[in-house]
């Protein structure tokens, strides 16, 4: 049915004259489609990364013992004994020094450098964190219990903000594409004013006239959208290696199958939006005539 609607009869195609895909509309839509897809893919990747990061730090805590590993074993045992606590894992001194090496260089390996001990754990629902802190403090005075969400929280917040910014930009660009279609529809109406008057004069309804323009703009928009989508797909494939690495860092795929399906639907959604907007614009213009 949609194919029948898109593929007009030869006479209908000739009625507005000129070959298809002529003029700026397909190119404007192609640029919009390209930009929308890149931004939407970025937004989805950010959303997934934020989600993975959020899951990874949810309920995750660290016990930091400033004066080193003398009490690490006792602290580990004390934490493990608390009901609801899971995955208690002391971080070895070697690993701590390796981490510090990034900032301090070889000096991090010096035995004279005091290295705090760290024990990580997951607190399940109902875990009493203040009680854990008190128990740890009793074994190692000065030790503190830090929630990962407090340290990684600002980064997570930034990711969420960027994600919504991307989705907002997709909405704005879609609105801009719709505005471009309105201008294109008005331009086409002005160009074909004489034909419209003849059509009305011989008894064509507004819908008959509208279908001509709506069909032409829908075809232009679909071609432009697909062209933009192909270009965007090429760019996204080119950065796929980097995205895979980012996925490894966050412990999951940056874009999953539902996301790819959504991205694949966007060019068609854009063409559908253009078609609906064109129909509304043409009908509104025709209603101003008798």
Partner 1 sequence: MARRCTGPPSRSNREGQNLAEIAEFDSVGLRYGTGGEVLRDLEFRLAAGGFYFLTGPSGAGKTSLLKLLYLAQRPTRGRIRLFGEELGDAPREALPAFRRRIGVVFQDFRLVRHLSAFDNVALPLRVAGASEDEIEGPVREMLDWVGLADRAGARPPTLSGGEQQRVAIARAVINRPDLLVADEPTGNVDAEMARRLLHLFTSLNRLGTTVVVATHDIGLISATAGAQMIRLENGTVVDRTGALRNPPGQRARP
What does residue 89 show for φ and ψ, rounded to 5 degrees? -140, 110
CB of 279 to partner 1, least distance (A): 16
4 lies in the binding site for partner 1 (CB under 8 A): no
110 lies in the binding site for partner 1 (CB under 8 A): no
The maximal CA–CA distance of the chain, rounded, in angstroms, is: 98
CB of 290 to partner 1, least distance (A): 6
CB of 7 to partner 1, least distance (A): 15
89 lies in the binding site for partner 1 (CB under 8 A): no
CB of 208 to partner 1, least distance (A): 6
Query: Between 9 and 112, whose beta carbon lies closer to partner 1?
Result: 9
Query: Between 18 and 242, whose beta carbon lies closer to partner 1?
Result: 18
CB of 190 to partner 1, least distance (A): 16
CB of 177 to partner 1, least distance (A): 28
95 lies in the binding site for partner 1 (CB under 8 A): no
151 lies in the binding site for partner 1 (CB under 8 A): no
SS3 239: coil
Query: Between 207 and 237, whose beta carbon lies closer to partner 1?
Result: 207
CB of 12 to partner 1, least distance (A): 9
- Which residues in the 174-233 window bind partner 1 by CB under 8 A? 194-195, 197-206, 208
In whole angstroms, what separates CA 93 from the centre of its chain? 39
72 lies in the binding site for partner 1 (CB under 8 A): no
Quickly count: other Cβ atoms within 10 Å of residue 241's Cβ: 9
Q: List CB contacts of 235: < 8 A, sequence separation 6 or more.
A: 38
Query: Between 102 and 287, whose beta carbon lies closer to partner 1?
Result: 287
Number of residues that bind partner 1 (CB under 8 A): 21
Long-range contacts of 129-138 (CB under 8 A, 24+ apart): 129/61, 131/82, 132/61, 132/63, 132/79, 132/82, 132/85, 135/78, 135/79, 135/82, 136/63, 136/65, 136/75, 136/78, 136/79
x/- track of binding to partner 1 for residues 7-26 (CB under 8 A): ----x--xxxxx--------
Q: List CB contacts of 62: < 8 A, sequence separation 6 or more.
A: 118, 119, 120, 145, 146, 148
What does residue 122 show for φ and ψ, rounded to 5 degrees? -100, 130
Q: How far apart are CA 66 and CA 144, in angstroms?
A: 9
> Using CB under 8 A as the criterion, which residues of the chain lie in contact with partner 1 when the complex forms?
11, 14-18, 194-195, 197-206, 208, 287, 290
């Amino acid at each position: 049915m949609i194919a029948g609607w898109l593929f007009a009869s030869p006479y209908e195609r000739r009625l507005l004259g000129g070959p298809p895909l002529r003029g700026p509309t397909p190119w404007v839509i192609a640029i919009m489609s390209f930009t929308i897809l890149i931004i939407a893919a970025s937004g989805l990747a950010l959303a997934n990364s934020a989600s993975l990061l959020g899951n990874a730090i949810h309920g995750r805590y660290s016990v930091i013992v400033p004066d080193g590993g003398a009490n690490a074993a006792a602290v580990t045992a004390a934490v493990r004994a608390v009901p609801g606590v899971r995955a208690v894992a002391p971080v070895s001194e070697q690993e701590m020094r390796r981490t510090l090496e990034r900032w301090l260089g070889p000096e991090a390996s010096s035995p004279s450098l005091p290295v705090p001990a760290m024990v990580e754990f997951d607190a399940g629902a109902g875990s009493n964190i203040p009680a854990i802190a008190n128990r740890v403090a009793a074994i190692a005075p000065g030790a503190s219990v830090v929630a990962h969400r407090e340290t990684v929280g600002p980064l997570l917040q930034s990711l969420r903000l960027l994600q919504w910014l991307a989705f907002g930009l997709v909405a704005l660009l879609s609105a801009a594409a719709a505005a471009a279609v309105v201008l294109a529809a008005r331009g086409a109406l002005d160009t074909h004013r004489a034909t419209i008057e003849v059509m009305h004069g011989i008894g064509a309804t507004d819908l008959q006239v509208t279908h001509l323009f709506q069909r032409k703009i829908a075809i232009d928009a679909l071609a432009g959208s697909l062209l933009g989508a192909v270009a965007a797909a090429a760019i996204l494939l080119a950065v796929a290696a980097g995205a895979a690495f980012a996925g490894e860092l966050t412990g999951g795929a940056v874009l999953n199958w539902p996301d790819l399906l959504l991205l694949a639907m966007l060019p068609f959604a854009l063409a559908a939006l253009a078609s609906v907007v064109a129909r509304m614009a043409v009908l509104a213009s025709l209603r101003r005539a008798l």
